[in-house]
């Protein structure tokens, strides 16, 4: 039998194929080594050790082919080892691997900043600065906002996630596993309500924004607030999309009060949701945007992009770091950005959304534990509850996740209550493979009923 050309990506046949139980013997041996060599503090979702990946498939050390519904937490949006990324990375590695941009610069860094300045919302003058991780980008957005405003307070929202460094742990809502026993956290961080339509009952976006604004007024005072930092779609918090009006009202409040409005688009950004940035669905132009994950096809790169007058308000030498904007990571980003533009990535994300929403909506009829189906583009989630209520069903979520893992589908959970099942497939996943993953999810619902 011949295999249709579109079913082979990166030399990998795009089909799920299990040749051992998961994890198989080689992965189990590697797991034993992991336990002896790696800190127990570093957890693993599914201990199959990966040797090759591409399209929508991950291949493990035992030769199993698994369907990738996580993209390494929204990172490999353009697919793993995308040839456009791999080719540019190889060429860059052969030329030079590092100089430190602050010591002797190179063009790739500037070019990545130019692309980010062009693609982020708003046609005002912009500047960018590059870093290594999402948390580092968030930290720098706060530094920049404080330098620009001369103010200290940072406002974040319930269910928000911003990273694992000290400042970003403090900005993150959920205790376990991110914050527990790691305090004290940085001061001057304030948390206000976020619109969460499935939980808010009759309260719409504008009303929840009014509560949040009232809290800022009474508990902090607008003139003390340097920045409001919000994810336009909650990431780790469970993919809740705020009700219309919420995000815009908070942004308007920030702009009316000299507060820097920062959209953390580290998870929702860069074509993932069917537009370059999720902020665009509400017509919001953030002052600063933080990006990471999907911008560089798997290489560590992050950025802060925003209004030139804010970005340039920092003293010379105030921003940086040894590796920030590493040339190899920049080459990967340029490859990833080129692929997205050539292949109309935003449209692919919308096609994935259509497939997922129709399958999940059909599943909900037989499985009323699916309380809510939400998200945008290739960033979709379901919230699992006791039928007819909003009472979380974390146990069912864990059971479903386990079933999918055992059957060769790499899935992720999320949510403050651990009851959200989220899907972040790479845009290179063939639709039949996506359908197969959803079929296994359906079987998981039946098996765990
Ligand atoms: N802001 C919105 O989603 C990273 C974290 C996984 P880093 N999310 C995945 C985990 O358990 O550590 C994230 C995010 C948003 C910031 C970050 C932080 O990005 O690159 O992980 O530092």
Banded pLDDT at 4 (limits 50, 70, 90): low
Summarize pLDDT for 55-107 with one digit per residue, the tens. Answer: 999 999 999 999 999 999 999 999 999 999 999 999 999 999 999 999 999 99
pLDDT at 3 over 90: no
d(C-alpha 370, C-alpha 442), whole Å: 11
- At residue 118's C-alpha, the angle toward residues 156 and 258, to 5°, is 35
| Binding site membership of 88 for ligand 1 (Cβ less than 6 Å) | no
Ligand 1 atom closest to Cα of residue 231? 2
Cα 186 to Cα 147, 148, 153, 229: the distances in Å are 17, 19, 11, 15
C-alpha 160 to ligand 1 mean position (Å): 11
Residue 269 contacts by C-beta under 8 Å, 6 or more apart in sequence?
A: 276, 277, 278, 289, 291, 293, 294, 295
Average pLDDT over residues 149-163: 98
Tally of CB atoms within 10 A around 254: 24
d(C-alpha 160, C-alpha 156), whole Å: 7
C-alpha 231 to ligand 1 mean position (Å): 11
| Binding site membership of 133 for ligand 1 (Cβ less than 6 Å) | yes
Q: Are 190 and 219 in contact (CB under 8 A)?
A: yes
Residue 218 contacts by C-beta under 8 Å, 6 or more apart in sequence?
A: none
d(C-alpha 188, C-alpha 311), whole Å: 22
Kind of pairing between the strands at 379-384 and 420-423: antiparallel
C-alpha 2 to ligand 1 mean position (Å): 41
Average pLDDT over residues 109-138: 98
Mean pLDDT over each residue of the chain, to the nearest integer = 97
d(C-alpha 118, C-alpha 356), whole Å: 30
Radius of gyration from C-alpha coordinates of the chain: 22
What is the predicted pLDDT for the residue at 420?
98
| DSSP bridge partners of 422 | 381, 412
The secondary structure of 248-292 as a DSSP string is: HHHHHHHHHTT-EEEEE-TTTTTTTTSSS-GGGGGT---SEEEE-
Q: Are 299 and 262 in contact (CB under 8 A)?
A: no
Average pLDDT over residues 203-220: 98
Residue 329 contacts by C-beta under 8 Å, 6 or more apart in sequence?
A: 132, 296, 299, 300, 301
pLDDT at 6 over 80: no
| Residue nearest atom 1 in ligand 1 by C-alpha distance | 162
Element (H, E) at 422: strand 420-423
Ligand 1 atom closest to Cα of residue 290? 1
Q: Are 65 and 57 in contact (CB under 8 A)?
A: yes
| Residue nearest atom 5 in ligand 1 by C-alpha distance | 163
What is the predicted pLDDT for the residue at 2?
44
Q: Are 90 and 97 in contact (CB under 8 A)?
A: no
Of 232, 262, 257, 221, the residue nearest 139 (C-alpha): 262
d(C-alpha 84, C-alpha 331), whole Å: 10
Summarize pLDDT for 298-307 with one digit per residue, the tens. Answer: 999 999 999 9
Phi/psi of residue 35, each to 5°?
-65, -30
Helices (H) and strands (E) in the chain, counts: 14, 17
pLDDT at 250 over 70: yes
Summarize pLDDT for 390-440 with one digit per residue, the tens. Answer: 999 999 999 999 999 999 999 999 999 999 999 999 999 999 999 999 999
Ligand 1 atom closest to Cα of residue 267? 3
pLDDT at 162 over 80: yes
Q: Are 403 and 371 in contact (CB under 8 A)?
A: no
> Hey, which of 42, 264, 270, 292 would you mutate to test ligand 1's pocket, going by the most ligand atoms within 8 Å of its Cβ?
292
| DSSP bridge partners of 410 | 68
Ligand 1 atom closest to Cα of residue 268? 2
d(C-alpha 115, C-alpha 336), whole Å: 11
Q: Domains along the chain?
A: 8-69+344-448 (3.90.1150.10), 84-342 (3.40.640.10)
d(C-alpha 232, C-alpha 304), whole Å: 16
pLDDT at 5 over 80: no
């Amino acid at each position: 039998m011949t295999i249709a050309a579109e079913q082979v990506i990166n030399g990998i046949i795009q089909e799920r194929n299990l040749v051992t139980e998961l994890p198989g013997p080689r992965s189990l041996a590697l797991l034993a080594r992991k336990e002896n060599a790696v800190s127990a503090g570093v957890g693993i979702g599914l201990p199959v050790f990966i040797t090759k990946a591409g399209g929508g498939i991950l291949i493990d050390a035992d030769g199993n082919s698994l369907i990738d519904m996580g993209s390494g937490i929204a990172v490999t949006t353009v697919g793993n080892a995308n040839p456009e990324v791999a080719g540019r990375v190889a060429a860059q590695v052969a030329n030079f691997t590092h100089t430190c941009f602050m010591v002797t610069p190179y063009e790739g860094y500037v070019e990545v900043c130019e692309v980010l300045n062009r693609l982020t919302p708003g046609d005002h003058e912009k500047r960018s600065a590059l870093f290594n991780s999402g948390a580092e980008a968030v930290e720098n957005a706060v530094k920049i906002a404080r330098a620009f405003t001369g103010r200290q307070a940072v406002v974040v929202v319930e269910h928000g996630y911003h990273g694992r460094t000290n400042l970003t742990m403090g900005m993150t809502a959920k205790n376990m596993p991110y914050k527990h026993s790691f305090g004290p956290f940085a001061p001057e961080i304030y948390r206000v309500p976020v619109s969460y339509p499935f939980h808010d009952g009759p309260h719409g976006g504008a009303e929840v924004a009014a509560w949040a604004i009232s809290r800022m007024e009474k508990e902090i005072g607008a003139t003390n607030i340097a920045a409001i930092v919000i994810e336009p779609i909650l990431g780790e918090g469970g993919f809740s999309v705020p009700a219309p009006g919420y995000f815009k009202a908070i942004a308007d409040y920030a702009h009316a009060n000299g507060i820097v409005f920062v959209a953390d688009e580290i998870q929702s950004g860069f074509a993932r949701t069917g537009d370059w940035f999720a902020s665009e669905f509400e017509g919001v132009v953030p002052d600063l945007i933080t990006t990471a994950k999907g911008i560089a096809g798997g290489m560590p790169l992050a950025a802060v992009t925003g209004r030139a007058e804010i970005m340039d308000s920092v003293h010379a030498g105030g921003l940086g770091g040894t590796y920030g904007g590493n040339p190899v990571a920049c080459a990967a980003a340029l490859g990833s950005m080129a692929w997205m533009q050539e292949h109309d990535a935003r449209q692919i994300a919308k096609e994935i959304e259509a497939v997922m929403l129709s399958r999940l909506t059909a599943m909900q009829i037989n499985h009323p534990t699916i309380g809510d189906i939400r998200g945008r583009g290739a960033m979709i989630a379901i919230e699992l509850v006791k039928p007819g209520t909003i009472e979380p069903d974390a146990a069912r979520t864990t059971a479903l996740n386990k079933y999918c893992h055992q059957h060769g589908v790499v899935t992720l959970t999320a949510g403050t209550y651990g009851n959200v099942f989220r899907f972040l497939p790479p845009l290179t996943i063939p639709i039949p493979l996506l359908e197969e993953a959803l079929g296994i999810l359906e079987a998981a619902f039946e098996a765990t009923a």
